[in-house]
Amino acid sequence: MASELTLYNSLTREKEVFKPLTEGRVGMYVCGPTVYSDVHLGNCRTFVSFDVIYRYLMHQGFQVRYVRNITDVGHLEGDSDDVDAEDKISKKARLEALEPMEIAQKYANGFHDMMRVFNTLRPSIEPRATGHIPEQIKMVQDIIDNGFAYEVNGSVYFDTLKFIEQKDAYGKLSGRKVDELMAESRDDLKNQSEKKHPADFAIWMKAAPSHLMRWSSPWSDGFPGWHLECSAMSTKYLGETFDIHGGGNDLKFPHHENEIAQNVGSCNHAGARYWLHTNMLLMNGRKMSKSDGNTITPTQLFTGDSPHVSKGYSPMVVKFFMLQSHYRSTLDLTNEALAAAEKGYRRLMEANQVLQEMRFTGNHQSGALDQDINGLLDRVTYEMNDDFNTPKALAVLFELVTKINSFKGGQLTMEGLTPSTFQRLQETFTVFIQDVFALENELVSAGGNDEFEVLDGVMKMVIELRAQARANKDWGTADKIRDTLNELKVVLKDGKEGTSWGVE
Amino acid sequence: MASELTLYNSLTREKEVFKPLTEGRVGMYVCGPTVYSDVHLGNCRTFVSFDVIYRYLMHQGFQVRYVRNITDVGHLEGDSDDVDAEDKISKKARLEALEPMEIAQKYANGFHDMMRVFNTLRPSIEPRATGHIPEQIKMVQDIIDNGFAYEVNGSVYFDTLKFIEQKDAYGKLSGRKVDELMAESRDDLKNQSEKKHPADFAIWMKAAPSHLMRWSSPWSDGFPGWHLECSAMSTKYLGETFDIHGGGNDLKFPHHENEIAQNVGSCNHAGARYWLHTNMLLMNGRKMSKSDGNTITPTQLFTGDSPHVSKGYSPMVVKFFMLQSHYRSTLDLTNEALAAAEKGYRRLMEANQVLQEMRFTGNHQSGALDQDINGLLDRVTYEMNDDFNTPKALAVLFELVTKINSFKGGQLTMEGLTPSTFQRLQETFTVFIQDVFALENELVSAGGNDEFEVLDGVMKMVIELRAQARANKDWGTADKIRDTLNELKVVLKDGKEGTSWGVE
């Protein structure tokens, strides 16, 4: 069941065999967070999904350059490009009485912390929008030079109408009907009167006098439009044409559609060849929304401090829950589904522990069992090769979990299994759990007690058992306790307030 | 013993009372790492020192904006400004076959990880040199406009001689004699023939065709000189005049001296008012050096994988060892000193544990003991106010440790101590250990075993004790074990291969 890696390309709306531009190498760009508030759970899902994709590509032998940006300028309230709209980061800086870059740093730190909690890898390059102003100014100039942008009062707008007329490249990704876009009239512009057409969008914005973040440019002291940074930074680090562009579904339009327009408008290349989009995270069947209370933060989910969950679910349980859905499906977060995910996560991790400690007890003959297990192991990769289908790959792993538990319980013997297949079984579990899905083992600390609390509680009991053994002149037990603790470098200290313990 | 915060200003070579520009606020800039290799232990010492300074300033009620940069361009091999010299990051990129920004990201990640290992706080803003090209180009232009720089073949050099003649601002920090600098002749320039004088330095460098990192500028496609970024970024985020500039002693000349020249040359303000410099880390009495093997990496120090140490020392022991010297003193790393630091660290942390669990048993009368302890508590702050004298502050804490241990051992009663002083004692330990020195409690895991290993070892013993108790029909012991484990949510599972344990 050998298979090629195929992925669903949002651009063509088809599953395609993945052919990288350069054999053995992949360039992947993913739109990162706008760092003006704590990262949302929906964003976490997107970045966890692309982390698994990144890890799987590396597992498949690709050398991947994974670029994920930090948006720290240009993203205006309401995703607007009205020159009077406020920058999201500047606004937060005003509210928190901090410099915009302090805001960006604070929330970038928080984002990185959360990504670590979910055990994701850091990207190869994590460029910041403010760190690439010259590249963005150059791209604006190129687009102007190519006739696809115009300046009004120091701001520069992309001439979408002209672009549509001259290039067959607008609307493809998002499926927006170009006819409908063109039919919109200038009357729809309302106060955004600098634009020639409603479909036009800002690529450089003149800064109002009160605007904190500003750079000089040939057109004005201002700042780049939100869509521009991704075009400029993906081009800089991955080239004018590269392999994969990812992001959340909500970015398809206008962000990604406009990225393509900017790329074509500046250098006549469309950027990414494969576009991957993650779907939405729902809660209780509805879109998450602060205004109606149907929302939960990652931290609330971990601690259980929310009316929407009956208790806290650990980061790895939440991650497992995410991987149980395909990245292109909506994922509905409910307390019941999380509780089920917790059971599934534990079942998988326990079976893996059992498997890794298990010894081969088969008869070295290849029989039906060997074929069966090899077939399942092939299928794990087959499902992942099918557009990174994590739920199906997990389902196959669970078929193997049943076998592992049967080996352990004695309902199934290893007759007909070869040592090499058994070893492959062990390796596959290690690779997928640790390297691809990157699920950490939280079993020890899953009960709400942390390790130290458990250890402290057990040690207090051991101290009592030792005292009792001494009182009973049971020197065998007392010596056994002493020797074991010595070996573990645990020291007992007798003091005024009883015996305490510590580690040397 | 109330005292004002004083600090040793490298610029004036005197201890000065610290007066921030704006009451209650501090702007502090510290030169961060050049991210082309793993962070050195000496750098760790510098950043740990400034972390304690940052934390102490906040503890004293200041609102601190702490800016620490990442140098990811412009730092040439041998700290050269020869146009033919190779950029440190570009060179590493060539060697590792990666894009320069992948190198920068990789080693910035490693640096951040190490800073977390040492339990340091992240700065308020962490700007990157490549992220501030427009600001640096602007500063070069300002310096040219003010007559203190000249262009040759697309590179721009700071005119040190002219600056010395017109401004009384060069050599003050480093103590370089201006006469000697001026006496150097053009003949000393050798192949750096673009410079008018040996003391001149590059502020913009034309990129050789092979140079990977380059930006367009009014003078050439090139890159900023190494010294320029700190001037540009400190000015951007802290203003033309700000409070504190820190860095390692080795940066005093030429880096910091040239920073001051650039600041004065561009805006006639000298930047920082107080300059703080950390001293060198030695090993076995000599400078660390790769070439003669007298070197150790942080990781080698933690694992003990080095001929220079008899065993591994934990990050907190190493940090404690650093704090036992004043930041302006050289610190000599030897195995003996580390072993002593380990004992000291444990003694402090154990006493703190004892103290925080201790109950007040005094007679509510204020006597000599009350005065004594209050005097010592005052002195902790007094010593820290004296140029952040961590070794002396620690010494005072150890005087208090003796008292705490005497309370515990019964050699000293709390007679003459008031509850409020006892509470102040507890709070001071908490504040200094946790918030200012930020020493984490590693007692449990300090033995080389991690908590889980210890717990697993103890649990295996408990399982045997339980089996033995059952065999002996000692139901009291067996029940006690069962009940305690139930309470701790530890479950035992009897299986084919014996009894295993886990947490619910």
The 10s digit of each residue's pLDDT in A430-476 is 999 999 999 998 875 444 446 677 888 888 899 989 988 888 888 88
Mutate to test the interface with B, among A359, A449, A458, A494 (most CBs of B within 10 A): A458
DSSP per position, B208-271 = PTT-S--B--SS-SEEE-HHHHHHHHHHHHH-SEEEEEEEEGGGIIIIIHHHHHHHHHHHS--E
Distance CA B432, CA B60 (A): 12
Q: Are both A431 and A455 inside the same structural domain?
A: no
Distance CA B48, CA B118 (A): 7
Contact A244, A260 (CB under 8 A): no
Q: Are both B230 and B94 inside the same structural domain?
A: yes
Is the model's pLDDT at A504 over the cut of 70?
no
Phi-psi map region of B415: left, alpha, beta (phi>0 left; psi -120 to 50 alpha):
beta
Instruction: Give A92's pLDDT tier (boundaries 50, 70, 90).
Output: confident
B446 belongs to a structural domain: no
Phi-psi map region of B87: left, alpha, beta (phi>0 left; psi -120 to 50 alpha):
beta
The minimum CA-CA distance between B214 and chain A, rounded to whole Å, is: 11
Q: Are both B190 and B334 inside the same structural domain?
A: no
A445 belongs to a structural domain: no
Mean pLDDT of A221-245: 96
Token pair of B381 as six digits: 């702050």
The minimum CA-CA distance between A436 and chain B, rounded to whole Å, is: 20
Contacts of B465 in chain A (CB under 8 A): 465, 477, 480-481
∠ CA A447-A448-A453, nearest 5°, is: 95
Mean pLDDT of A44-66: 98
Give B477's Cβ-side CA count (13 Å radius).
24
Contact B25, B62 (CB under 8 A): yes
Query: Looking at the DSSP assignment, which residues form a beta bridge with residue B274?
Result: B244
Is the model's pLDDT at A294 over the cut of 80?
yes
Q: Are both B85 and B121 inside the same structural domain?
A: yes
Among B404, B436, B468, which residue terminates a domain?
B436
Contacts of A461 in chain B (CB under 8 A): 462, 480-481, 484
Q: Is the dihedral of CA B251, B256, B258, B259 positive or negative?
A: positive
Is the model's pLDDT at A38 over the cut of 90?
yes
DSSP per position, B394-447 = HHHHHHHHHHHHHHHHTSS--TT--HHHHHHHHHHHHIIIIIIS-----TTTTT
B443 belongs to a structural domain: no
Q: How many CB atoms lie within 10 A of CB A147?
A: 12
Distance CA A301, CA A317 (A): 10
Distance CA B241, CA A136 (A): 31
B234 belongs to a structural domain: yes
Q: Are both A155 and A187 inside the same structural domain?
A: yes
Residue B446's pLDDT is what? 40
The minimum CA-CA distance between B292 and chain A, rounded to whole Å, is: 34
Q: Which of A16-25, A408-417, B54-63, B182-191 has the lowest mean pLDDT?
A: B182-191
Mean pLDDT of A205-224: 93
Mutate to test the interface with B, among A242, A405, A454, A477 (most CBs of B within 10 A): A454
Mutate to test the interface with A, among B128, B238, B444, B500 (most CBs of A within 10 A): B444
| 0.95 surpassed by pTM | no
Token pair of A374 as six digits: 């090899």
The minimum CA-CA distance between A166 and chain B, rounded to whole Å, is: 30
A to B CB pairs, distance under 8 Å: 158
Contacts of B486 in chain A (CB under 8 A): none
What pLDDT, in 10s, does the model give residues A298-338? 999 999 999 999 999 999 999 999 999 999 999 999 999 99
Residue B450's pLDDT is what? 60
B292 belongs to a structural domain: no
Q: In total, how many domains does chain B have?
A: 3
Q: Are both A388 and A240 inside the same structural domain?
A: no
Contact B381, B432 (CB under 8 A): no
Whether B131 and A132 lie within 8 Å, measured CB to CB: yes
Whether A105 and B123 lie within 8 Å, measured CB to CB: yes
Query: Looking at the DSSP assignment, which residues form a beta bridge with residue B87?
Result: B76
Q: What is the mean pLDDT of each run of 10 residues along chain B (504 residues)?
A: 89 97 97 95 97 98 97 82 79 83 95 96 97 97 98 96 91 87 68 82 93 93 95 97 97 96 97 98 93 93 94 96 98 97 96 94 89 97 98 98 96 94 97 97 58 81 89 89 86 75 74
DSSP per position, A192-212 = -TT-SSTT-EEEEEEPPTT-S
A174 belongs to a structural domain: yes
Q: Are both B152 and B224 inside the same structural domain?
A: yes
Contacts of B26 in chain A (CB under 8 A): none
Distance CA B250, CA A248 (A): 47
Nearest to A451 among B451, B481, B495 (CB): B451
**What percent of chain A lies above the pLDDT cut of 90?**
74
- The residue in chain B having the minimum alpha-carbon distance to the alpha carbon of residue A130 is B131
What's the burial of B142, exposed, middle or buried (CB within 10 Å: 0-12/13-18/19+)?
Answer: middle
Token pair of B197 as six digits: 């004088």
Whether A480 and B461 lie within 8 Å, measured CB to CB: yes
Distance CA B52, CA B118 (A): 11
Q: Are both A115 and A225 inside the same structural domain?
A: yes
Whether A461 and B468 lie within 8 Å, measured CB to CB: no
Instruction: Give A339's pLDDT tier (boundaries 50, 70, 90).
Output: very high
Element (H, E) at A361: none
Whether B465 and A448 lie within 8 Å, measured CB to CB: no
Mutate to test the interface with B, among A444, A456, A464 (most CBs of B within 10 A): A444
Backbone angles phi, psi at A151, to 5 degrees: -100, 135
Helix residue ranges, H only, A249-334: 257-267, 298-303, 315-323
∠ CA B185-B190-B194, nearest 5°, is: 85
Whether B134 and A130 lie within 8 Å, measured CB to CB: no
Among B278, B310, B337, which residue terminates a domain?
B278
Contacts of B202 (CB under 8 A, 6+ apart): B81, B83, B155, B156, B157, B158, B225
H/E/C letters for each residue in A67-132? EECEECCCCEHHHCCCCCCCEHHHHHHHHHCCCHHHHHHHHHHHHHHHHHHCCCCCCCECCEHHHH
Give B72's Cβ-side CA count (13 Å radius).
29
B201-206 vs B222-224, strand pairing mode? antiparallel
Distance CA B247, CA B49 (A): 10
B367 belongs to a structural domain: yes
Mutate to test the interface with B, among A67, A121, A404, A465 (most CBs of B within 10 A): A465
Among B436, B462, B493, which residue terminates a domain?
B436
Nearest to A447 among B134, B444, B504 (CB): B504
Residue for token pair 């339980």 = B466
B246 belongs to a structural domain: yes
Nearest to B125 among A99, A446, A455 (CB): A99
Nearest to B130 among A105, A131, A453 (CB): A131
Q: Which of A250-264, A366-380, B70-84, B376-390 has the lowest mean pLDDT?
A: B70-84
Contact A358, A350 (CB under 8 A): no
Q: Are both B430 and B481 inside the same structural domain?
A: no
DSSP per position, B39-52 = PPHHHHHHHHHHHH
- CA distances A374 to A392, A418, B171, B374, Å, are 16, 10, 74, 73
Residue A181's pLDDT is what? 79
Contacts of B490 in chain A (CB under 8 A): 454, 458
Contacts of B73 in chain A (CB under 8 A): none
Contact A287, A278 (CB under 8 A): no
Contact B147, B162 (CB under 8 A): yes
Contacts of B457 in chain A (CB under 8 A): 484, 487-488
Range of the domain at A478: 451-503
Spatial CA neighbour of B18 closest among B69, B51, B62: B62
What's the burial of B395, exposed, middle or buried (CB within 10 Å: 0-12/13-18/19+)?
Answer: middle
Distance CA B368, CA B494 (A): 61
The minimum CA-CA distance between A458 and chain B, rounded to whole Å, is: 7
Q: Are both B160 and B183 inside the same structural domain?
A: yes
The minimum CA-CA distance between A33 and chain B, rounded to whole Å, is: 17
Q: Are both A195 and A147 inside the same structural domain?
A: yes
Is the model's pLDDT at A344 over the cut of 70?
yes
- The residue in chain A having the minimum alpha-carbon distance to the alpha carbon of residue B99 is A237
Q: Are both A83 and A125 inside the same structural domain?
A: yes
